Amino acid sequence: MVGLFSKEKAFCTVCKKELSHKHKPKKSWNVTGSLCGNCHVDLMKEHFEDDNDNKCVLCGATPGSFNLWKSKKEWGVQGWLCKPCFDQKEKQDDELKKFCCLCGAKVGFISYAPKKEWNLKGQVCKNCWNSRTKN
């Protein structure tokens, strides 16, 4: 018999199942050979988590996904942070919020967000906001 059966058989490199459809592994997976659909999906998931969830985006530490913290939107950081980086960011964030970034006065509860065109980070006090907006 020739035809269908003359084709070389291929097996999944992970589970050794005979393949009807070959799936190619990605280079970064360090896998040689072909994969069946199931193993392909499994590896995809595994490496997707590697790439996105197990790494602090600031220092690159990999303390495990349970020890990573989601960064806050206003930090301009996308992804996950390890505890030390998260704490540091939060501290910086708090400090920026507490004082007027122009005169250094305590802002307290009533703070004013500077206008975009002022190019300032943080908050301004009432006095500075007033004097800026007057001009």
Residues that bind Zn ion in the complex, under the rule CB under 5 A: 12, 14-15, 36, 39, 56, 58-59, 61, 82, 85, 100, 102-103, 105, 125, 128
Q: Which is nearer to Zn ion, 3 or 71 (CB)?
A: 71
**Residue 76 and residue 55: Cα distance in Å, rounded?**
17
Q: Nearest Cα to 18, choosing from 35, 40, 41?
A: 35
Least spacing, CB of residue 71 vs Zn ion, in Å: 10
Q: Which is nearer to Zn ion, 25 or 56 (CB)?
A: 56
Q: Which is nearer to Zn ion, 2 or 82 (CB)?
A: 82
Q: Nearest Cα to 43, choosing from 64, 14, 80, 11?
A: 14
Least spacing, CB of residue 17 vs Zn ion, in Å: 5
Q: Which is nearer to Zn ion, 2 or 90 (CB)?
A: 90
Least spacing, CB of residue 48 vs Zn ion, in Å: 18
Least spacing, CB of residue 59 vs Zn ion, in Å: 3
**Residue 122 and residue 96: Cα distance in Å, rounded?**
5
- Amino acid identity for residue 44 in this structure: M
Q: In the numeric block, which tokens belong to residue 2?
A: 């020739």
Report whether 103 contacts 128 (CB < 8 A). Answer: yes
